[in-house]
Amino acid sequence: MVEIGCVEMINKVPTGNTYHAYYNPERDMPAGAEAVHGLSAAFLSDKPLFAAKAQELLDFLEDAPLVAHNASFDFGFLNTELTIISMEPICTSRMIDTVALARRKHPGAKLSLDALCSRYGIDRSHRVKHGALLDAELLAQVYVELTGGRQIGLELAADIAEQVTAVPIPSAAATPRNRQPARPHSASAEELSRHHEFLGLIKSPLWGQ
């Protein structure tokens, strides 16, 4: 494992709080892997070991649900690293896999992060390589779309409507009230006379042609 990026969200809204770290894997970087993420062995050589930063990561994660794309793959790496340094692995019940969400919502469609960004109109033009923090920021937007879209308030409105309809409304017969007489809306004889005089002041009215 060479990089981790996390974006904090509360009620599906990014808080601006993020976590990002590079790690020295203590091994050579395969050419195929470097082609994907662009991180060379030389770049990572002066980065800290995962063991030195693991607690910092766990402090950031706390006990929150963890959203990841193909979550079992990512958590396999993370829990292996935690096990190596004799730390408790993260319970897989905390995982929310956006691949599984996308498969249920769009069966038969492409499920890559790039494909989902295209589907939902999420700008990924600045994504040249697989950067952990950038991918997390894009995935946060994809997750919102997969779970109801940007109009999150509609769910709240439905809850409010449900609560309102649950309140019993008394019938009119049960609560009689004094009704006021209808107010007169017709013009009086005096008002009609003044209106007729006013119309007489208008020269060549359209209604007279």
Choose, from 130, 185, 195, 196, the residue flagged as catalytic: 130
For residue 38, the model assigns a pLDDT of 86
pLDDT in tens, 84-94: 999 999 999 99
Residue 198 lies in a domain: no
Number of domains forming the structure of the chain: 1
For residue 184, the model assigns a pLDDT of 66
Cα–Cα distances (Å) from 39 to 3, 10, 45, 112, 130, in that order, read: 9, 31, 10, 21, 10
Q: Which of 60, 130, 92, 63 is nearest to 100 (CA)?
A: 92
pTM value is 0.67
Residue 142 lies in a domain: yes
Residue 76 lies in a domain: yes
For residue 150, the model assigns a pLDDT of 63
Greater pLDDT, 161 or 121: 121
Mean pLDDT over the full length of the chain: 84
Strand partners, 181: none
Residue 127 belongs to domain with CATH number: 3.30.420.10
Residue 209 has which token pair? 């042609």
Write the DSSP string, 132-200: HHHHHHHHHHHHHHHTT-S-THHHHHHHHHHHHHTS----TTTS--PPPPPPP-SPPHHHHHHHHHHHH
Catalytic-residue membership of 195? no
Range of the domain at 87: 3-151
